Amino acid sequence: MTILIAYASTEGQTRKIARYCADYLNAQGHSVELSGASDAADAELNRFDAVLLAGSVHLGKYQKPLVRLARKKATALAHMKAAFISVSLAAAGTDEDDWQGLRDCVANFASKTGWTPQTVMHVAGAFRFSEYDYFKSMAMRWIASQKDQEVDPHHDKEFTDWAALKTSLDAWLST
Ligand SMILES: Cc1cc2nc3c(=O)[nH]c(=O)nc-3n(C[C@H](O)[C@H](O)[C@H](O)COP(=O)(O)O)c2cc1C
Q: Whose CA is nearest to atom 27 of ligand 1?
A: 10
- pLDDT of 66: 98
Ligand 1-lining residues (CB < 6 angstroms):
9-14, 56-60, 87-90, 125-126, 128, 136, 140
Per-residue buried b or exposed e for 31-45, using 16+ beta carbons within 10 Å of the residue's own CB: ebebbbbeebeebeb
* 3-class DSSP assignment, residue 42: helix
Helix, strand, coil percentages in the chain from 3-state DSSP, rounded to 5? 50, 20, 30
CA of 47 to the centre of ligand 1 (A): 32
- pLDDT of 122: 98
Would you identify the CATH topology of the domain 2-125+160-174? Rossmann fold (3.40.50)
Quick one: what percent of the chain has pLDDT higher than 70?
100
Q: Whose CA is nearest to atom 29 of ligand 1?
A: 58
Q: Is a pLDDT exceeding 90 seen at residue 175?
A: no
pLDDT tens track for 2-23 = 999 999 999 999 999 999 999 9
pLDDT tens track for 23-42 = 999 999 999 999 999 999 99
Read off the pLDDT of each residue in 96-119 and give the average, rounded to a whole number.
98
The structural domains of the chain, with segments of one domain joined by +, span 2-125+160-174, 129-156
Q: Is a pLDDT exceeding 90 seen at residue 107?
A: yes
Q: 51 Cβ partners below 8 Å, 6+ apart?
A: 3, 4, 5, 6, 45, 73, 77, 80, 81, 82, 83
Cross-strand bridge partners of residue 67 = none
Please name the helix (run of DSSP H) or strand (run of DSSP E) that holds residue 149, with its range, or none: none
pLDDT tens track for 111-152 = 999 999 999 999 999 999 999 999 999 999 998 888 888 889
- pLDDT of 147: 82
